[in-house]
Chain A
């Protein structure tokens, strides 16, 4: 490539500036949280700590780790995430493989049966009543089943099978008398670890981060996932404290407010960190998931 012209140099300069601006915007709030979580909360609240930790203290993390609700929430979230991913894969993979095979009567009709759910749904209330009538309120099932499968996942996994399972392989196995179950479990699945990883990751992140199903279907606080525990600490307390600032009854809230202040940033880190640490290593899988899904759109 020949040397850049003057106009291109100017362009590259401003483009680099823009990228640096983007990185700064994205990274600053994240760094701030990390620094705030180990700084003296008084300095954080007054604005003296604005980038690097000041007057380092680990009281926030100590209190977080002493908090039984958070531990319990963690435990619940891990249970819901792992079992939810397993159920997801169990329903998804056989179906995605079967619909990826050519020459199956009524396949198109079955695909439309799935696709239609993208365009129309019964909505929140009928779904809630269903879960209630099934007796799933306050059970682990309510966390795992209602969103166990979406059409998007079928489209993605199906596209993967279509592109990556050689037809000759399946035909040769059929010639040898292998059943479709055998072909799926012994030949197709071992070829499909990338898509299994992608689907498990996407669904797992969704389960880890979800709070709304728990809000609707759980009222026993010992079953709360981490996200609902966080909501109480980060949002409900904080908002009520802010509203109390103007009004009466300040003292009863003072102690609560102090503790909430100390732990809030530590709590954010404790909940988001596992994903943020793991994600860069799995980035290529996530990107792959987005792209395979978009081909068939």
Chain B
């Protein structure tokens, strides 16, 4: 079919790639059709709210709608930055995150330790048990905390009572809030978060261990010099994610653990947004606060990823 006209047409086509692409797309239209539900879904439930966030710069009223409401510029942001509670909720958000970050090594230690179990049955048993709390819902988890920590009937205070200690109203004391929130999270996920490290450890070449053993290295030395370097890339990636998510606290759990008495330690940006927005109806103001939160998150993630890329060659993108 390599006639003169044919080659001419092909030349023209290659000059105009869009026609070729168009032809290919037409041939594959069914594949695009398969993407349509997801594209429509993201457009409606993710992108439309991104457009809707412009109410942060407006005075939204339901009757005028998003477009019709009058612009107010940065008024809501100013009001938020100047509010007396601004530093409280920002520092609560950051302190809880920092506390969580400090617990970051726990699953690594758990994985390194589990990896040393020789009996595979015992190992599987340990995994099954320690993964289980991950499946407990936030509501039940909070219910457990409320029950265990109750000053009058809780097991924790009953136990402390054995040593003659006065009961502590854990959930009513701001000083205890962050510890309760973070450590219960550690309890729920110490096994589950170890899965990914265990997988990295399973990929370590056994010859490395054999060679080191011949050279007289103890188990502990082999962990330090073989296993830890082997999981390091995974650690870096997860650390990036963790820092990038500093502002995204599991506020659904914070909200449940919150009460008027521990509020000064437990109010974080997201719970504040929910309260002032949905319970008090200040849509524009709380959309502004939420936007502030999203923008800090985005900046953090991009920055941390950039630093990691420059220094360790491990990055998300």
Q: Which residues of chain A have a CB within 8 Å of any CB of chain B?
A: 1-2, 4-5, 7-8, 11-12, 15-16, 18-19, 22-23, 25-27, 29-30, 32-33, 44-47, 50, 90-92, 94-95, 97-99, 101, 103-106, 110, 113-114, 117, 119-130, 145-146, 148-149, 154, 179-181, 184, 205, 208-212, 216, 227-228, 230-231, 233-235, 238-239, 242-243, 245, 261, 264-265, 267-268, 271-272, 275-276, 279-280, 283, 286-287, 290-291, 294, 297
> Could you tell me if A94 and B35 are in contact, using CB atoms closer than 8 angstroms?
yes
Per the CB 8 Å criterion, the residue count for chain B at the interface is: 100
A85 to B277 CA separation, bound complex (whole angstroms): 30
> Could you tell me if A245 and B152 are in contact, using CB atoms closer than 8 angstroms?
yes
A118 to B140 CA separation, bound complex (whole angstroms): 28
> Could you tell me if B130 and A180 are in contact, using CB atoms closer than 8 angstroms?
no
A215 to B137 CA separation, bound complex (whole angstroms): 15
> Could you tell me if A148 and B41 are in contact, using CB atoms closer than 8 angstroms?
yes
Min CB–CB distance A219 → chain B (angstroms): 11
B184: nearest residue on chain A (CB-CB)? A29
Min CB–CB distance B8 → chain A (angstroms): 24
A182: nearest residue on chain B (CB-CB)? B30
Min CB–CB distance A257 → chain B (angstroms): 9
Measured between beta carbons, the chain A residues less than 8 angstroms from B261 are 243
Can you list 21 contacts pairing A with B, beta carbon distance less than 8 Å?
A8-B218, A19-B113, A26-B133, A26-B187, A92-B38, A95-B39, A101-B31, A110-B39, A113-B42, A122-B52, A124-B273, A125-B273, A126-B290, A149-B38, A209-B136, A210-B137, A212-B252, A239-B171, A242-B151, A271-B137, A279-B131
A267 to B114 CA separation, bound complex (whole angstroms): 33
- Residues of B253-305 contacting chain A, CB below 8 A: 255-256, 259, 261, 270, 273-274, 277-278, 283, 286-287, 290-291, 293-294, 298, 301-302
* B158 on interface, CB distance cutoff 8 Å: yes
Measured between beta carbons, the chain A residues less than 8 angstroms from B171 are 239, 242
Min CB–CB distance A237 → chain B (angstroms): 10
* B98 on interface, CB distance cutoff 8 Å: no
Per CB-CB distance, the 5 closest pairs between chain A and chain B, nearest first, are: A122-B49, A47-B158, A234-B143, A123-B290, A126-B52
B interface SS class: helix
Measured between beta carbons, the chain B residues less than 8 angstroms from A234 are 139-140, 142-143, 146-147
> Could you tell me if A45 and B35 are in contact, using CB atoms closer than 8 angstroms?
no
A130 to B283 CA separation, bound complex (whole angstroms): 12
Measured between beta carbons, the chain A residues less than 8 angstroms from B190 are 22, 26
Known: A121-B50, A130-B52. A12 touches B195 (CB 8 A): no
Measured between beta carbons, the chain A residues less than 8 angstroms from B196 are 290-291, 294
> Could you tell me if B51 and A30 are in contact, using CB atoms closer than 8 angstroms?
no
> Could you tell me if B278 and A272 are in contact, using CB atoms closer than 8 angstroms?
no
**Beyond A50-B158, A126-B49, A126-B287, 18 additional pairs, beta carbon < 8 A:** A15-B116, A22-B191, A26-B129, A27-B129, A46-B158, A105-B28, A110-B35, A114-B38, A114-B42, A122-B50, A123-B287, A123-B293, A235-B142, A243-B261, A279-B131, A283-B127, A286-B131, A291-B196
> Could you tell me if A211 and B41 are in contact, using CB atoms closer than 8 angstroms?
no
Known: A26-B187, A45-B153, A114-B38. A125 touches B139 (CB 8 A): no
A70 to B317 CA separation, bound complex (whole angstroms): 46
> Could you tell me if A297 and B237 are in contact, using CB atoms closer than 8 angstroms?
yes
A2 to B132 CA separation, bound complex (whole angstroms): 36
Measured between beta carbons, the chain B residues less than 8 angstroms from A235 are 139, 142-143, 146, 256
> Could you tell me if B270 and A124 are in contact, using CB atoms closer than 8 angstroms?
yes
* B179 on interface, CB distance cutoff 8 Å: no
With beta carbons under 8 angstroms apart, the residue of B116, B131, B278, B294 that contacts A121 is B294
With beta carbons under 8 angstroms apart, the residue of B30, B127, B220 that contacts A11 is B220
* B128 on interface, CB distance cutoff 8 Å: yes
Query: What 1/0 flags go to B130-174 for Cβ under 8 Å of A?
Result: 111101111110111011101111010011010000000101100
> Could you tell me if B34 and A97 are in contact, using CB atoms closer than 8 angstroms?
yes
Min CB–CB distance B263 → chain A (angstroms): 13
Measured between beta carbons, the chain B residues less than 8 angstroms from A154 are 38
> Could you tell me if A231 and B256 are in contact, using CB atoms closer than 8 angstroms?
yes
* B126 on interface, CB distance cutoff 8 Å: yes
* B86 on interface, CB distance cutoff 8 Å: no
B157: nearest residue on chain A (CB-CB)? A47
Measured between beta carbons, the chain B residues less than 8 angstroms from A294 are 196, 199, 234
Known: A26-B129, A33-B144, A290-B195. A95 touches B274 (CB 8 A): no
* B228 on interface, CB distance cutoff 8 Å: no
> Could you tell me if B128 and A280 are in contact, using CB atoms closer than 8 angstroms?
yes
